[in-house]
Amino acid sequence: MKDIRINGDRLWNSLATMATIGATRRGGVCRLALSDLDKAGRDLFVGWCRDAGCVVSVDQMGNIFARRDGLDPARPPVATGSHLDSQPTGGRFDGAYGVLAGLEIIRTLNDSGLRTQAPLEMVVWTNEEGSRFAPAMIASGVFAGVFDLNYGLSRTDAAGKTIGEELARIGYGGALPVGQRKFGAFFEAHIEQGPILEESGTTIGIVSGAQAQRWYDVTVTGQEAHAGPTPMKRRHDALLGAARAVVEVNRIGMELSPAACATVGFMSVGPNSRNTIPGRVLFSVDLRHPDDGMLATMDADLRASLHGMGSELGLTISIDQIWHSPAVNFDGACIGTLREAAAQLGLSQRDIVSGAGHDSCYINRVAPTGMIFIPCQGGVSHNEAESASKHDVTAGAQVLLLAMLRHADLV
Ligand SMILES: [Zn+2]
């Protein structure tokens, strides 16, 4: 089986052709979900799938399924896919790689005349990025039952247009009910979007799961006062408290590094005036860890250290957790197949935890799911400079091919 070789040049050319749709001047891509450019990217992909003999169907969230029949139609399909939408200043690999790697697998099997028992499917998930319509991964979320269909279709962009209206406008509001499809297994290939594989000289990252996350809004309330007549010892400076909190958040992350991440990314200072001691500061906290229990420990540490700091400085601290996403653990059998495939091909591999969300994180709730990463240059993504090597792009697709054939049973 390991002698079936995917065509790296053809995959590379498909990526380059897809990247012409929404191409930006600095070599990136802007293909916002359900825009005319997203439609053009979808049309190109669907055309390629039909040329490869696949039957294409679209569900009510605009998710695209391109099916290559198996010899046993009763078996659930073994599927792979990702997304074709991008950030406003996105790269040419984020999402498109996972979609086009699937297409290359179908083309390779066609070239060699090989059939599988189970059908194979390539999937494009709608609005993964969450850039035009929040939240991210909305359509795979509806598919997995995390959100209901009406919620998904009624999300609006900044201009007030809904996902449902825009799907209808570009002709991708399909008839298929969302989420009724059962996959035998689902795989996704993606660029890492971080530096670990490149730094360690590893070709294939076997993704064990994704980090648990908690997001907070924190408000520090002190007392506004004149910056001149108010002695240092009598102050209740909310910004001083917020500054100490930033140091505490960093400590919480550092103490459990490298597994943990802890970030203050947003801050608003009131009244934000040069000669007034700040009375009220609002800031965000983002805590992440691959283990739910360790994240709960970080949560307790955050609350204790911020409240301790507050009473020391005479400040009121309110900590509001606004979002919690538990850790994702991908399917053991799928992970095993991916490891075996990489080993069989003699590729370097290591286990890795995804710091970012992916459609696979939701699909994992309804189907056995596995994911691989390939290195991206400098660990950079969501950036026009995003880049990956032809060697790694090819190697990842080859791993995906072997893993899918293992689950779909090559005849
Ligand atoms: Zn992506």
User: pLDDT tens digits, residue range 93-115?
Assistant: 999 999 999 999 999 999 999 99
Backbone angles phi, psi at 203, to 5 degrees: -85, -40
d(CA 249, CA 184) in angstroms, rounded, equals 42
Q: What is the mean pLDDT of residues 65-80?
A: 97
d(CA 109, ligand 1 centre) in Å: 26
d(CA 306, CA 277) in angstroms, rounded, equals 20
Residue 180 has pLDDT above 90, yes or no: no
Residue 72 has pLDDT above 90, yes or no: yes
Distances (CA, A) of 270 to 101, 230, 234, 267, 370: 50, 17, 19, 10, 46
d(CA 69, ligand 1 centre) in Å: 27
Task: Supply the pLDDT for residue 323.
Answer: 84
pLDDT tens profile 277-290: 999 999 999 999 99
d(CA 171, ligand 1 centre) in Å: 23
Task: Supply the pLDDT for residue 89.
Answer: 93
d(CA 343, ligand 1 centre) in Å: 25
d(CA 409, ligand 1 centre) in Å: 28
Mean pLDDT taken over the chain: 96
d(CA 356, ligand 1 centre) in Å: 9
N- to C-terminal Cα separation, the chain = 11
Percent of the chain with pLDDT over 90: 95
When pLDDT is cut at 50, 70 and 90, the band that residue 6 belongs to is very high
d(CA 359, ligand 1 centre) in Å: 8
d(CA 293, ligand 1 centre) in Å: 27
Which residues, by Cβ under 5 Å, contact ligand 1, an ion? 94-95
Q: What is the mean pLDDT of residues 230-236?
A: 97
Q: Which residues 6+ apart lie within 8 Å of 342 measured at CB?
A: 203, 204, 206, 349, 372, 399
Residue 169 has pLDDT above 80, yes or no: yes
When pLDDT is cut at 50, 70 and 90, the band that residue 1 belongs to is low
d(CA 201, ligand 1 centre) in Å: 22
When pLDDT is cut at 50, 70 and 90, the band that residue 3 belongs to is confident
d(CA 194, ligand 1 centre) in Å: 12
pLDDT tens profile 234-255: 999 999 999 999 999 999 999 9
Residue 194 has pLDDT above 80, yes or no: yes
Q: What is the mean pLDDT of residues 187-201?
A: 97
Q: What is the mean pLDDT of residues 288-299?
A: 97
Residue 2 has pLDDT above 60, yes or no: no
d(CA 128, ligand 1 centre) in Å: 7
pLDDT tens profile 155-164: 999 999 999 9
The angle at the Cα of 233, spanning 242 to 274, to the nearest 5 degrees, equals: 55
Q: Which of 211, 284, 277 is nearest to 238 (CA)?
A: 277
d(CA 97, ligand 1 centre) in Å: 9
d(CA 328, ligand 1 centre) in Å: 16
Residue 133 has pLDDT above 80, yes or no: yes
d(CA 143, ligand 1 centre) in Å: 17
Q: Residue 331: exposed, middle, or buried by beta-carbon count in 10 A (0-12, 13-18, 19+)?
A: middle
d(CA 295, ligand 1 centre) in Å: 24
Q: What is the pTM of this model?
A: 0.88
d(CA 311, ligand 1 centre) in Å: 43
User: The tokens of 259 are what?
Assistant: 């597994």
d(CA 232, ligand 1 centre) in Å: 49
The angle at the Cα of 4, spanning 82 to 338, to the nearest 5 degrees, equals: 50
d(CA 241, ligand 1 centre) in Å: 37
d(CA 129, ligand 1 centre) in Å: 7
When pLDDT is cut at 50, 70 and 90, the band that residue 369 belongs to is very high
d(CA 381, ligand 1 centre) in Å: 9
pLDDT tens profile 28-43: 999 999 999 999 999 9
Q: Residue 112: exposed, middle, or buried by beta-carbon count in 10 A (0-12, 13-18, 19+)?
A: exposed
